[in-house]
Amino acid sequence: MTSSALVPSAPSADPMADRIAEVSRNTAETRISVRINLDGTGQAKLHTGIGFFDHMLDQIARHGLIDLDIDCEGDLHIDGHHTVEDVGITLGQAFARAVGDKKGIRRYGHAYVPLDEALSRVVVDFSGRPGLHMDVKFTAGSIGQLDTQLVFEFFQGFVNHAGVTLHIDNLKGVNAHHQCETIFKAFGRTLRAALERDPRSAGVIPSTKGSL
């Protein structure tokens, strides 16, 4: 049984008002609460029970300048799959709520991020159409307590519920920690670019269709 609650921020006529959302998701496998502020300063409070995953979520906050509060109690006695996937789902729901009608945002974002020998490229479109295209060949099966296969599951959950098209390519890398960290740092930078308010299109939806 699954229950998800979207808690909207109070409506405001101010186009520069903070974009804040809270989402909770409770299932037989995980209990998750997420709070985000897209116009924050990169502060994060994270507890998923998987240390390296928390470290990666912190990269999203710091490099995206997004205030991020995530608390998750998952069935880690089984493995990390449900925790990582469900955090992606819940975070995606929070982004969809906080972004709202997408008026005035730049919509597209991209970033290249290096870390020593590793280099990753991430590109996003807040299109309303979920799609993940990920080309990453991790050189290790796990990093700390994080199964590297679950990185895909996190992003798949995110794009399905945020309604974004996301391309992730690790262009080079030998150390799996470096590979993963460049992906999450680039993802944060990419979100920051796409969600930035464009003063030249204030109040305008960035699409010829008139909606996203």
- Residue 13 has what pLDDT? 46
- DSSP codes joined into one string, 131-178: EEEEE---SSSEETTEETHHHHHHHHHHHHHHT-EEEEEEEE-SSHHH
- Residue 169 has what pLDDT? 98
- Residue 51 has what pLDDT? 98
For residues 106 and 202, is the Cβ–Cβ distance under 8 A? no
Give 145's contacts (C-beta < 8 A, 6+ positions apart). 50, 51, 52, 53, 80
pTM above 0.85, yes or no: yes
For residues 79 and 88, is the Cβ–Cβ distance under 8 A? no
- Nearest 5°: the CA angle 12, 18, 24 is 95
Give the DSSP letter of residue 13: S
In angstroms and rounded to an integer, the radius of gyration of the C-alpha atoms of the chain is 16
- Residue 35, SS3 per DSSP: strand
Would you write out the chain's pLDDT as a tens digit for each of its 212 residues?
455 554 444 444 456 678 999 999 999 999 999 999 999 999 999 999 999 999 999 999 999 999 999 999 999 999 999 999 999 999 999 999 999 999 999 999 999 999 999 999 999 999 999 999 999 999 999 999 999 999 999 999 999 999 999 999 999 999 999 999 999 999 999 999 999 999 999 999 999 988 89
